[in-house]
Structure 1
Amino acid sequence: MNIQTGVPRPSTQAEDFLEDLVEDLQVPVSRIEQAERSYKSLGGWLHRPNSTVRDLDPNVYVQGSFRLGTTIKPLNDQEEYDIDSVCEFGRVGKGSLSQAELKRRLGVEVEAYRRSQNMTKPMREGRRCWVLDYADGAQFHMDIVPAVPNGRDTRLILEARRMDPRWAATAIGITDNEVWNYMIVSDDWPRSNPKGYADWFRSRMAVAFARRKQRLAESARASVEDIPDYKVRTPLQAAVMLLKRHRDMMFVDRYSDRPISVIVTTLAAHAYAGEETIAGALLSILSRMEAYVGRTNDGWLIPNPADPLENFADKWGKHPERARAFFEWLGAARRDFGQAAVLLERKTIADQLAGSIGHGAAHRAEARRSLDAPRPGLLRTAIVPPAAASATPSFGSQARVPTKPRGYA
């Protein structure tokens, strides 16, 4: 036990076990490459010579957990990865057309793309996006959010409120068919900033990331520039993955109450203090997460670091059961990981965590290596998407019925 903080001191066996557990939870490289090919292929389609939106300079990029490197495998083969992407049109502004018109114009091209790829499932419309459902074997669907640049206006708003505008340059305006002005031309669009959020998240682990990349370069006798980012996985990324799997298991039958991934990720990144090991980071984060949950006269406050006017906990006021669920989960995660962290045998650790992270995952992690031959966690492959060799996706045409995605950030 760390007397100053009250955080258990993890055993070497527990640290090794958690490294192997994270390796089991990470997304296979083949899945990552499929996802990257899909949004790059769509981006190429939007820039083809006869595209109806080519002149608007569409730029398709991934957001959410795939961008952060914190995606985990679904709980089972029936669930799908939710690939969140943005199509940002660089040559159109909020005052040029309505949200509805921008979304319609993108929808025409997405539908044409779907047909060109012989995708059997119809395109679906979400509140803010279009959804493409890929076939069996792919095990994912892709949300495409139409957007326009909004950095200047976001900076002015934040500066006027004396809030931090540091990440505002990459802010975007997005479409939302439930807002009052969706059908009319207006300068008031819903705001988002996935690039800014990702930059903030990376800033929280920048020192650990640089150290690990340097060590990898030295071990490979290569330059730092030769080591791709996806080869590096930081303790913060690993801790978020573990927390999300624990959350998923705890709320498997209470999905609407589960703490949303962006809240888990944001609080973990705030609480991370540069710890060098996964177990150390996880236990330290769990001990401090609560400190970054604020209270206001209207309820609870967890600001978006990239846009402090957005409150990730804004639903907790109308749904107090969600706030209760968060603190219930936090207490359970502290207990489960804290008890496992001090154990000295892999089987005992696996048995301790099996109920909270899944029996299959726990016992696969137990079997990954013997205690006599631990592998350096530094050389693990991260889940940040690697560069893909091809821009054309290769998926089957068999229909797949998607289930509710289990993650966002």
Structure 2
Amino acid sequence: MAADITQQAEAYLQAMVDDLSISDTRYEQAERSYKALGTWLGRPESTLFRYEPLVYVQGSFRLGTVIRPPSEDEDYDVDAICELQRLRTSQLSQKKLKEMLEVEIRSYHRSQNMTKPVREGRRCWVLNYADGAQFHMDVVPCVPDADRQRRLLEASRQTSNFTNTAVAITDNERWNYTIVDDDWCRSNPKAYATWFRQRMIVALNRRKQILAEVAKAHVEDIPDYRVTTPLQAAIMILKRHRDVRFAGKPEDRPISIILSTLAAHAYGGQETIGAALLAILNTMDQFVLNVGGKLVIPNPTDPLENFADKWESHPHRAKAFREWLQQARQDFAYIAVQADMQLITNSAAPAIGRELAERALAKSSSGGRLRAASLAPVGAGLSFPATARVPTTPQGFA
């Protein structure tokens, strides 16, 4: 894949990301919502008070890679965790934990006069906010799980520096959902967010410094969500390309955690969106391992978890990933070398949707409303290696 990208293509990609980005207001609204829920669950009158509930956000909102829904009829999905810090898996069943959270979720729902009903998901409770808010919150109950995680790693002769924040989450389709048993699904959203942030820390800090200078503020006063790094921007573009490619068959599309993990591994500290996007597309498949004939994308914070575990029982999803990646390489390699904005738009339309393509053209032609902090300072064939490829290490990566 060509390494060069025209100024016009770079401006177009920047405008595309600007249009895909949700507003600071949306971030702040989501933040207020999960903090308000945390306050409610932790109030002295709460049935969960003695267990020290802690609510925090996970997923794309935490990583800064959330994108606007394709239409105003669709909601943002805010993924939150409710960790009961005083409980452990040995004390109750997954079902009991989920029911305990349900009591307070429904109480909160009534206190806020929310009209849309509470829904149960496989691993969570879903709060649907008013239409004007345009988001729903998935609240996953969990308990601390650091000790079990360390034991599992030791038994497998593996190590991780991220076990302290490991949690065990509920899953109503798991065989032992109704009984007291230590074998729960594992998760560690805090650790993953830390790892992801480390992969882009130099670019993040540089852009926060730029924004601080523009706003005449201190760097530490600039929240991360005010900044979009090239890594985050590239992931946002890839997510939209994926969504368009798999419209009508979402069950086959590569899940976001796979895109984010492979992109973060492949990111080499590039300073522009175009350079980051091309570099990521060129090498991201090299971080899919073939271990004894099984495709593995290890969780970088939990070597026992394989993000591609569903590919074994659904091999067509691995094939779908290969075909999507090949198409994305072709689409963006072609866009990268174009200098005519209308040609870029026409080329981008099938890949990202005509409406977004036209809006990006309008923004790039007019200068748009580009965020100051997102501005950068002045295909090979697909194969899955049998051994781990060590990620390139941007300056400051820990």
Provide TM-score, normalisation by structure 2: 0.90
Cross-structure match for 1:392: none
- Sort the Cα spacing of 1:182 and 1:169 in 2 relative to 1 into closer, same or farther, 3 A: same
Residue 36 (structure 1) shift: 1.7
Counterpart Cα distance in 1 of 2:198 and 2:112: 38
Cross-structure match for 1:391: none
Counterpart Cα distance in 2 of 1:228 and 1:182: 39
Counterpart Cα distance in 2 of 1:291 and 1:355: 27
Please state if 1:213 is matched with 2:208: yes
Cross-structure match for 1:197: 192
Counterpart Cα distance in 2 of 1:271 and 1:112: 45
Please state if 1:16 is matched with 2:11: yes
Counterpart Cα distance in 1 of 2:78 and 2:336: 33
Counterpart Cα distance in 2 of 1:367 and 1:217: 28
Deviations 1:321-374 (A, max 9, x none): 111110110011001111001111222211110111111111111111437x69
Cross-structure match for 1:398: none
Q: Percent identity?
A: 57
Counterpart Cα distance in 1 of 2:210 and 2:138: 37
Specify the code of the residue in structure 1 equivalent to 2:218.
S
Give the secondary structure class of the aligned counterpart of 2:91. coil
Residue 295 (structure 1) shift: 1.4
Show the 5 A alignment for 1:325-364: 325-364=320-359
Counterpart Cα distance in 2 of 1:192 and 1:240: 22
Give the secondary structure class of the aligned counterpart of 1:136. coil
Cross-structure match for 1:48: 43
Please state if 1:379 is matched with 2:383: no
Structure with the bigger RCO (C-alpha within 8 Å, sep 6+) is: 1
Give the secondary structure class of the aligned counterpart of 1:368. helix
Residue 164 (structure 1) shift: 3.5
Moved more, 304-313 or 64-73: 304-313
Cross-structure match for 2:171: 176
1:109 is aligned, of 104, 111, 128, to 104
Cross-structure match for 1:58: 53
Give the secondary structure class of the aligned counterpart of 2:365. coil
- Asked if 1 retains the 8 angstrom alpha-carbon contact of 2:34 and 2:55, the reply is yes
Give the secondary structure class of the aligned counterpart of 1:253. coil
Counterpart Cα distance in 2 of 1:220 and 1:140: 29
Residue 175 (structure 1) shift: 0.8
Give the secondary structure class of the aligned counterpart of 1:61. strand
- Sort the Cα spacing of 1:215 and 1:119 in 2 relative to 1 into closer, same or farther, 3 A: closer
Specify the code of the residue in structure 1 equivalent to 2:297.
I
Cross-structure match for 1:394: none
Counterpart Cα distance in 2 of 1:326 and 1:76: 25
Deviations 1:193-243 (A, max 9, x none): 111111111111112112222333344444322333222211000000000
Please state if 1:27 is matched with 2:17: no
1:120 is aligned, of 78, 91, 115, to 115
Moved more, 129-138 or 329-338: 129-138
Specify the code of the residue in structure 1 equivalent to 2:18.
E
Q: What is the aligned length? A: 375
1:137 is aligned, of 109, 132, 135, to 132
Show the 5 A alignment for 1:247-396: 247-297=242-292, 299-370=294-365, 378-380=372-374
Residue 156 (structure 1) shift: 3.0
Cross-structure match for 2:158: 163
Residue 32 (structure 1) shift: 2.0
Counterpart Cα distance in 2 of 1:39 and 1:27: 17
Provide TM-score, normalisation by structure 1: 0.87
RMSD: 1.8
- Sort the Cα spacing of 1:378 and 1:283 in 2 relative to 1 into closer, same or farther, 3 A: farther
Specify the code of the residue in structure 2 equivalent to 1:379.
A
Give the secondary structure class of the aligned counterpart of 1:309. strand
Counterpart Cα distance in 2 of 1:130 and 1:184: 20
- Asked if 2 retains the 8 angstrom alpha-carbon contact of 1:7 and 1:284, the reply is no
Moved more, 103-112 or 160-169: 160-169
Counterpart Cα distance in 2 of 1:220 and 1:306: 35
Cross-structure match for 1:242: 237
Residue 151 (structure 1) shift: 1.7
Counterpart Cα distance in 1 of 2:217 and 2:316: 52
Give the secondary structure class of the aligned counterpart of 1:51. coil
- Asked if 2 retains the 8 angstrom alpha-carbon contact of 1:93 and 1:148, the reply is yes
Deviations 1:246-303 (A, max 9, x none): 0000111221111111111110001001101000000000000110111133521111
Cross-structure match for 2:2: 7
- Asked if 1 retains the 8 angstrom alpha-carbon contact of 2:191 and 2:301, the reply is yes
- Sort the Cα spacing of 1:298 and 1:102 in 2 relative to 1 into closer, same or farther, 3 A: farther
Please state if 1:96 is matched with 2:96: no
Cross-structure match for 1:39: 34
Counterpart Cα distance in 2 of 1:226 and 1:113: 31
Specify the code of the residue in structure 2 equivalent to 1:231.
R
Residue 101 (structure 1) shift: 1.0
Counterpart Cα distance in 2 of 1:343 and 1:70: 26
Structure 2 unmatched ranges of 5 or more: 376-398
Residue 380 (structure 1) shift: 3.7
Counterpart Cα distance in 2 of 1:62 and 1:308: 23
Give the secondary structure class of the aligned counterpart of 1:119. coil
Counterpart Cα distance in 1 of 2:42 and 2:215: 39
Residue 192 (structure 1) shift: 0.4
Moved more, 68-77 or 31-40: 31-40
